[in-house]
Amino acid sequence: MFSRITGIGSFLPGPPVSNDDLASRGIDTSDEWIVSRTGIKSRHLAANGESASDLALEASRRALLAAGLDAADLDLIIVATSTPDFIFPSTACLLQGKLGNRGATAFDIQAVCSGFVYGLTVAEKFIRSGSHRRALVVGAEVFSRILDWSDRGTCVLFGDGAGAVVLEASDKPGILATALHADGAHHGILSVPGSICGGKVTGDPFLRMDGQAVFKFAVRVLAEVADECCRAAGIAPSEIDWLIPHQANVRILEATAKRVKMPMDKVVVTVDRHGNTSAASVPLALDEAVRDGRIKAGQKIMLEGVGGGFTWGAVLLEL
């Protein structure tokens, strides 16, 4: 038994927020400063009261429509998020209720920016085992809720959004290879080092990052895991038609492409318009490239994620 993606959908909340918009809100930054360092020109920010499950719902409806399925057809729902609606229940269960599905397995995955790749890999294992046949895998984030808006080194980098895919059992291979890794020794270079105790926040509730350390680590492991996936599938990296890495920074995308010897015109880039949407970034980029016709049936696509933990992984697939 194999698994294939049969539907993709995405959702971005509200109008684009430009770099100039951020500067006009009192943030000590400029369009030139942000673009020159990150390539980011705009991002989308969720409205007050708009949660990760709300964004996930819109992306999921579009993915189900593309797959020609109803929510009742699903027997597995996985949501990758670092910004859940509640401590519990899971965002996946909240999404399940909003979709009107009853009885499917539903749970969250927390692997930060690698979350969607982790979720897709886990769903593929469920389907290959024969226990489940139709899975909804979602990456949904409202990172604007955990940003320190006085820290211009981090707050300008992130945005909110959601992307979803429907993965179904198939006699024809779709997911060709997967690889997941983590190394908790590097947790200190990217984290939100806070928690709730006794009804109060303890520690620091905002995202903190050592940008240079993250850059070096991300480029190295993204290149390594892409090569690992290609070896597992028995193909050369040159046979990859499209590379869709986690959308964190244009410089990271360029450095990763160079390491895997991939021309930038074969790398899907959305970070310039979306910012870093963490677990949502890979499915957002995949959906855009499929809908605009760049990605075609039968092509080989490498999805990659790297995020706090540190976690990283890749999925090689054909649509």
- Other C-beta atoms within 10 Å of 317: how many? 25
Three-state secondary structure of the chain? CEEEEEEEEEECCCCCEEHHHHHHCCCCCCHHHHHHHHCCCEECCCCCCCCHHHHHHHHHHHHHHHHCCCHHHCCEEEEECCCCCCCCCCHHHHHHHHHCCCCCEEEEECCHHHHHHHHHHHHHHHHHHCCCCEEEEEEEEEHHHHCCCCCHHHHCCECEEEEEEEEEEECCCCEEEEEEEECHHHHHHEECCEEEECCEEEECCCCEECHHHHHHHHHHHHHHHHHHHHHHHCCCHHHCCEEECCCCCHHHHHHHHHHCCCCHHHECCCHHHHCECHHHHHHHHHHHHHHCCCCCCCCEEEEEEEECCCEEEEEEEEC
How high is the pLDDT of residue 1? Answer: 87
* Chain CA centroid to CA 215, Å: 17
* Chain CA centroid to CA 181, Å: 16
pTM score, whole prediction: 0.97
C-alpha distances in Å from residue 105, one per residue of 24, 49, 291: 45, 27, 29
Residues of the chain with pLDDT under 50: none
C-alpha distances in Å from residue 200, one per residue of 115, 160, 194: 27, 25, 10
* Residue found by looking up tokens 């020159």 in the block: 36
Q: Are 131 and 112 in contact (CB under 8 A)?
A: no
Six-digit token string for 122: 């886990």
Which is nearest to 124 in space by CA: 108, 135, 140?
Answer: 135
Q: Are 307 and 114 in contact (CB under 8 A)?
A: yes
Residue positions annotated with a catalytic role = 113, 246, 276
How high is the pLDDT of residue 7? Answer: 98
* Residue found by looking up tokens 């995405």 in the block: 10
